């Protein structure tokens, strides 16, 4: 399965919710995932990140009144699809933290089994009739009866959130899509080019195409949102007007030719728990 094509939305600063691994904290930073014609965000229009309170999925379900009307970004596992419009996501570390997610644009398409997703949307109390009317959805009462008046995230954007190793093992399933990635910076080639990994042998080349270039340090843990594509040094350098000398272009071409590269729209430092620094 591929990721959902969703219209990009730039809401006000969201709250960040932890579903096991903490998510990125700015809803407007998620790219709309596209299979063949990926859309990109305007970096100048995106809200700037800020430190967020660490919140678990259980906090949302146990203290729903604190989150109603808030835009949140969550990262977790897909536990079950429900009809054509929704799925249940959770993290097994937190009992009672399952959250229903409904796509405000209709049919949900998700990555392959075992790949987490990152979702941005508004927390609401599930009221089927109201949601159907507002978003022109088709919700089967038999499938959703158990969720009435429980918390639901009405998703504005959904993207795969693979580990670097998931990408290395099968990059084809993510090409042309917007993805949300996190890992450690283990090699810096230039201010615009660095490698992110979660272990030995699974490093993904990341190109920061924003101006100014993201300020990253060796060993720093980062969260990255961008489009995955096969690497072609001259094509990418020309397209994004990157300031590479010939030696660096030759080095990257030799090491990463036709391998997966993440063309980043947003790069954020995070701590070990995934909290934005």
Render 107-151 in DSSP notation, one character per residue: -----STT--EEEEEEEEE--HHHHHHHHT----HHHHGGGTTSE
Q: Is 67 a member of any domain?
A: yes
Of 160, 192, 224, the residue that ends a domain is: 160
Q: How many CA atoms lie within 13 A of 78 on its CB side?
A: 26
Q: Is 166 a member of any domain?
A: no
Whether residues 189 and 152 share a domain: the answer is no
Structure-token match 């701590």, residue found? 271
Whether residues 199 and 113 share a domain: the answer is no
- Going by C-alpha positions, the residue among 84, 141, 144, 86 that lies closest to residue 117 is 86
Q: Is 131 a member of any domain?
A: yes
Q: Is 194 a member of any domain?
A: yes
CATH number at residue 125: 2.40.50.140
- pLDDT tens digits, the chain, 277 residues: what are they? 433 333 333 333 344 444 433 333 333 334 333 333 333 333 333 333 333 334 556 677 777 888 898 888 788 889 999 988 899 988 655 555 788 999 998 878 888 888 999 888 889 999 999 999 999 888 898 899 999 989 999 998 898 999 898 898 889 999 988 899 989 999 999 888 999 998 766 789 999 877 777 788 999 998 899 999 999 888 888 888 888 888 998 999 999 988 999 999 888 887 765 555 5
- Going by C-alpha positions, the residue among 126, 157, 118, 154 that lies closest to residue 19 is 118
Q: Is 2 a member of any domain?
A: no
pLDDT at residue 24 in the model:
35
Whether residues 207 and 96 share a domain: the answer is no
Of 160, 182, 203, the residue that ends a domain is: 160
Whether residues 256 and 181 share a domain: the answer is yes
Distance CA 236, CA 256 (A): 12
Whether residues 36 and 129 share a domain: the answer is yes
Q: Is 59 a member of any domain?
A: yes
Distance CA 253, CA 180 (A): 24
Whether residues 75 and 181 share a domain: the answer is no
Q: Is 225 a member of any domain?
A: yes
- Domain coverage including residue 227: 171-269
Domain count of the fold of the chain: 2
pLDDT at residue 165 in the model:
87
Q: Is 261 a member of any domain?
A: yes
């Amino acid at each position: 399965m591929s990721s959902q094509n969703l219209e990009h939305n730039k809401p006000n600063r969201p709250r960040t919710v932890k579903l096991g691994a903490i998510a990125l904290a700015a809803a407007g930073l998620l790219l709309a995932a596209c299979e063949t014609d990926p859309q990109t965000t305007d970096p100048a229009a995106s809200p700037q990140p800020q430190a967020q309170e660490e919140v678990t999925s259980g906090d949302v379900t146990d203290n729903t009144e604190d989150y109603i009307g808030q835009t949140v970004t969550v990262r977790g596992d897909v536990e079950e699809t429900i009809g054509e419009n929704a799925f249940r996501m959770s993290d097994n570390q937190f009992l009672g933290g399952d959250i229903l997610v409904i796509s405000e644009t209709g049919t949900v398409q998700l990555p392959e089994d075992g790949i987490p997703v990152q979702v941005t949307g508004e927390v609401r109390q599930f009221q089927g009739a109201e949601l159907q009317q507002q978003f022109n959805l088709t919700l089967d009462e038999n499938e959703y009866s158990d969720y009435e008046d429980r918390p639901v995230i009405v998703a504005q954007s959904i993207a795969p959130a693979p580990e670097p190793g998931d990408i290395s093992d099968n990059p084809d399933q993510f090409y042309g899509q917007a993805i949300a990635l996190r890992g450690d910076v283990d090699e810096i080639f230039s201010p615009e080019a660095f490698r992110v990994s979660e272990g030995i042998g699974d490093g993904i080349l990341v190109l920061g195409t924003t101006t100014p270039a993201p300020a990253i340090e060796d060993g720093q843990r980062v969260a990255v949102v961008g489009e995955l594509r096969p690497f072609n040094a001259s094509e990418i350098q020309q397209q994004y007007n990157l300031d590479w000398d010939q030696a660096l272009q030759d080095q990257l071409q030799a090491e990463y030719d036709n391998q997966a590269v993440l063309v980043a729209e947003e790069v954020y430092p995070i701590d070990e728990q995934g909290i934005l620094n």
